[in-house]
Amino acid sequence: MRLRGIGSAGVMGGPAGDLYIELEVKPHPTFKRDANNIYVDIPVTISEATLGGKIKVPTLDGTVTMTLPPGTDSGKKFKLKGKGIPHRKTGVRGDEFAIINIVVPKKVTNKTKEALEEIEKAYH
């Protein structure tokens, strides 16, 4: 950022120079930014992705509820229009993209294993 005439005094009584300020924006723990659009990873279970349902999605304005359609694949992007960053000149907001990530359970009980084996049969 450049601030004209705010820097050090000029040589031999000349006008003040410019002040340059370097800004560094730290990454947000939840959102990733691309211009005025933001992206957020949404973890869902295998059941939620398969059956669909209501899921909570964080936005800059708070949490919203979104309907996840049945059969949603991991990596699928959903656009939340106007939930991004406001344009600094026009004020028009960018969009938010919710990216679905299916979370696989790390610990599997025998009952869960049997249920997953039944689900696997649906693929064949």
Dihedral angle over CA of 7, 12, 13, 15, nearest 10: -40
Indicate which CATH number applies to the domain containing 98.
2.60.260.20
pTM of the model: 0.74
**How far apart, in whole angstroms, are the C-alpha atoms of residue 75 and residue 86?**
26
Maximum distance among all Cα pairs of the chain, rounded to whole angstroms: 86
pLDDT at 12: 77
5 domain-assigned: no
20 domain-assigned: no
96 domain-assigned: yes
93 domain-assigned: yes
Residue 51, φ and ψ in degrees, nearest 5: -90, -20
Model confidence pLDDT, tens digit, residues 5-35:
887 887 777 888 888 999 888 888 999 999 9
9 domain-assigned: no
3 domain-assigned: no
**Confidence tier at 51 by pLDDT (50, 70, 90):** very high
Domain count, the chain: 1
113 domain-assigned: yes
Nearest to 22 by CA among 5, 2, 8: 2
14 domain-assigned: no
For residue 73, the enclosing domain spans 26-121
In the predicted model, is pLDDT for residue 38 greater than 80?
Answer: yes
**Confidence tier at 36 by pLDDT (50, 70, 90):** very high
Model confidence pLDDT, tens digit, residues 62-118:
999 999 999 999 999 999 999 999 998 999 999 999 999 999 888 889 998 898 888
